[in-house]
Chain A
Amino acid sequence: MERGVITRPDLVVVADETLVPIPAAGVLQGLSERTVLLLGSAERRETWQDRLKVPGPVLALPVSAQSGDHGVLAQIGASCAGAAARLLGVIRRESLARALQEEIAKFGSAAVAANLECALAAFDAMAPHAGLVAASAEIGAGDYRAPEWVDLPLEEAAVAAPDIHGALTSELAITGTWRTHMPVIDYERCNRCSWICSTFCPDSAIKVAADHTPRIDLDHCKGCLVCVAVCPPHAIRAVPEREAAREHSR
């Protein structure tokens, strides 16, 4: 069995739907009309099929890494494994349960029970699609598309040294989509210390205005919640992203 990059996947499982629009994550790479795409998402498969226009079938698992429910979030891996097992069509329910028990045992019986429940529910939910994933044929050596190899030209060091001259390119990457929880400042409680949250923020995503009021740059806050932990008057709370989004839209 060969190791390395899977260039032509038969099944792609995306536990966190927020990865889909990030080009560097490349989760849609190599999809063909036979590739099954399984997304952990509260949205319907039709929505995703329409949105992504991928050539193959799309399925949605009604759990999401963005869920505010910590319990469900912790078991997203188990849910995906359960669904994937059913989609492959060759893994029995008992085998899945046994494998999960072995895998999770070290975390205690409560974790085993919670993960089993999620995995088996996902396994059952995928019953209509059992065996949807099939192994594609290998590329034969007789008839293949030759790689378009190129000779790299020698270029002057000003071009060929790995420097970044463009200012503030990192600002263009909206890392705020990574958050599962949003820090929200209660300005009634904030004592305008003017430096603690902004100094501890590892992404420099908190700016303090001249009047000592901190503002969080939500385009770049990754939701690490260090600010929540360090704020002396406990003026910052963590709100599940989905809930926060609902509050915002109101």
Chain B
Amino acid sequence: MNRVLLTGNGAAAWGARLAEADYIPSFPITPQTEIIETLERWCTDGEMDGTVVTLESEHSMITAAAAAAATGVRVFTATSSQGLMYGMEMIYTVAGWRAPFVLVNVSRALATPVTLEPDHTDVLGARDSGFLQIHCATCQEVLDSVLIAYRLGEDARVRLPAIVNEDGFYLSFTREPVELPDPDAVRRFLPPFRSRGIEFRASRPISQAVAVLGSAPYSYFRYEAHLAALAALPAYDEAAAAFASEFGRRWPAVEAYRAEDAEIVYFMIGSFATKAKDAVDRLREAGRKIGLVRPRLLRPYPEGALRQHLLGKRAVIVIDQNLSMGKGGVLYAELASALYGRPGAPLLVSFVGALGGRDITAEEFYEMAKVARQAADAGVAPEPRLLYTAGELRELRTLQAIAGAERRTIT
């Protein structure tokens, strides 16, 4: 067993190395850069066989990634936040090529205003693209998920690119003990990609999904990609089972922590779910029947597993580290659609928090549980709430006063 201290970025790079990625198009952006720097060093030193190429933008980088994937080689790439946004045209375009590769997104909140810290609005912008999405809570999970993502995307039933998401800073720059899987075991779990017809070659021209089509054939191809994404649900379960038997670590599509006998559960993705786990332990000590349900797989949406875990609960506390302007939390709306009208559907209590990396304190987790309990007793869901304190608002007022014009308006 080889246990080392790795950042989330280091873990992502190790995932690509162990998957024996052949081609790594790259472009630097905080807080992702360490991933490509690490891979570049390994490829230069000969510790890894792949080729790292720096492109001039994320738009070109994602195009290059998919074009290389279309030759049947294994491709890895990584970006973050504004970089993902800049490449978004190609994110939506290349998913339709049905050539699998893995992209690690290091979540960082979007402008405006500018921040470097994480929330999930960036990766949710790719939600409807056709990319599969796996969301991580620990550095170990980042490494393991890269391997699982390759197996899943390359599955003959699926053949779609996949995003593995980790939180900027809280995972990307935080070193944790990570078990490095044995390379031979990885080769057993993830044999070389058998591309089965994905074989774009020089001097053998084919047209890669460039035909302009009318509505009916267009609908066919779009819906086929959707069906392929749905087929990734059983394929994921198989991949996770194979991973568990090879490496002993279980990464189900939906993680349930002390949830079975729980009356109320937290529902969230990403590294702050580890805080929710801690809150669950403390609340259990205080006699509360509470748990955590964390979807790792967000695309495809594991509706069946979520219903299994959540129907019959009194209330679900949905914590969204994202914001859809004019609607609210994305996870909340999606979960409502999965549970609506089902017998035993729990009350959903929506919180939006941790925007731009804002912390969620233990006290806030306890208070959210209290609000959910009271809502369940009353049978009425409260209005969605932004996690924001009077102290934070006071500090903001100071900033506004410094900024100038607001001084006159506010005071």
Physical interaction between A and B: yes
Q: Is the CB of B272 within 8 A of A147?
A: no
Q: Is A33 part of the contact surface with B, judged by Cβ < 8 Å?
A: no
Interchain CB contact (< 8 A) of A4 among B285, B359, B388, B400: B359
Q: How many residues on B have C-beta within 8 angstroms of the other chain's C-beta atoms?
A: 47
Q: Is the CB of A149 within 8 A of B389?
A: yes
Q: Which residue of B lies closest to A103 (CB)?
A: B5
Which of A1-20 touch B at CB < 8 Å? 1-5, 7
Q: How far is the CA of A7 from the CA of B366 in the complex (A)?
A: 16
Q: B92-100, B183-191, B337-345, B403-411: which lies at the A interface?
A: B403-411
Q: Contacts A3-B271, A4-B170, A139-B282 known; A146 to B393 CB distance under 8 Å?
A: no
In the assembled complex, which residues on chain B have CB atoms less than 8 Å from the CB atom of A151? 385-386
Q: Is B127 part of the contact surface with A, judged by Cβ < 8 Å?
A: no
Q: Which residue of A lies closest to B383 (CB)?
A: A151
Q: Which of A144, A145, A167 has the most CB of B within 10 A?
A: A144
Which of B336-372 touch A at CB < 8 Å? 359-364, 366-367, 369-370
Q: Is A166 part of the contact surface with B, judged by Cβ < 8 Å?
A: yes
Q: How many residues on A have C-beta within 8 angstroms of the other chain's C-beta atoms?
A: 30
CB distance from B180 to the nearest CB of A (A): 14
Q: Is the CB of A3 within 8 A of B409?
A: no
Q: Contacts A150-B389, A152-B386, A159-B400 known; A3 to B274 CB distance under 8 Å?
A: yes
Beta-carbon contacts of A140-179 to B below 8 Å, as 1s and 0s?
1110111111111000101100111111010000000000
Q: How far is the CA of A147 from the CA of B171 in the complex (A)?
A: 26
Which of B184-226 touch A at CB < 8 Å? none
In the assembled complex, which residues on chain A have CB atoms less than 8 Å from the CB atom of B403? 163-166, 169
Q: Contacts A4-B359, A144-B366 known; A164 to B404 CB distance under 8 Å?
A: yes
Q: Is the CB of B385 within 8 A of A166?
A: no
CB distance from B147 to the nearest CB of A (A): 21
Which of B227-278 touch A at CB < 8 Å? 271-272, 274-275, 277-278
Which of B108-122 touch A at CB < 8 Å? 112-113
Q: Is B174 part of the contact surface with A, judged by Cβ < 8 Å?
A: yes
Beta-carbon contacts of B146-180 to A below 8 Å, as 1s and 0s?
00000000000000000000010011001000000
Q: Is the CB of A141 within 8 A of B285?
A: yes
In the assembled complex, which residues on chain B have CB atoms less than 8 Å from the CB atom of A139? 282, 362-363
Q: Is the CB of A165 within 8 A of B405?
A: yes
Q: Is the CB of A169 within 8 A of B402?
A: yes
Q: Which of B138, B362, B387, B391 has the most CB of A within 10 A?
A: B362
Q: Is the CB of A159 within 8 A of B359?
A: no
Count of inter-chain pairs, beta carbons less than 8 A = 105
Which of A88-144 touch B at CB < 8 Å? 138-142, 144
In the assembled complex, which residues on chain A have CB atoms less than 8 Å from the CB atom of B367? 144, 146-147, 149
In the assembled complex, which residues on chain A have CB atoms less than 8 Å from the CB atom of B400? 159
In the assembled complex, which residues on chain B have CB atoms less than 8 Å from the CB atom of A162? 112-113
Q: Is B73 part of the contact surface with A, judged by Cβ < 8 Å?
A: no
Q: Which residue of B lies closest to A150 (CB)?
A: B390
Q: Is B288 part of the contact surface with A, judged by Cβ < 8 Å?
A: yes
Q: Is the CB of B388 within 8 A of A138?
A: no
Q: Which residue of B lies closest to A139 (CB)?
A: B362
CB distance from A168 to the nearest CB of B (A): 10
Which of B275-289 touch A at CB < 8 Å? 275, 277-279, 282-283, 285-286, 288
Q: Is the CB of A141 within 8 A of B385?
A: no
Interchain CB contact (< 8 A) of A149 among B288, B369, B388: B388
Q: How far is the CA of A163 from the CA of B403 in the complex (A)?
A: 7
Interchain CB contact (< 8 A) of A148 among B282, B390, B404, B405: B390
Q: Is the CB of B389 within 8 A of A147?
A: yes
Q: How far is the CA of A176 from the CA of B264 in the complex (A)?
A: 53
In the assembled complex, which residues on chain A have CB atoms less than 8 Å from the CB atom of B282? 138-141
Q: List 18 A-B contacts (CB under 8 A).
A: A3-B274, A4-B274, A7-B359, A141-B286, A141-B366, A142-B286, A145-B363, A146-B367, A147-B361, A149-B385, A150-B389, A150-B393, A158-B405, A159-B406, A159-B410, A165-B404, A165-B406, A166-B404
- In addition to A138-B362, A165-B404, 18 A-B residue pairs with Cβ atoms within 8 Å of each other are A1-B274, A2-B278, A3-B167, A3-B171, A4-B271, A5-B359, A138-B278, A139-B363, A146-B370, A150-B388, A150-B389, A150-B393, A158-B405, A165-B403, A166-B404, A169-B402, A169-B403, A169-B404
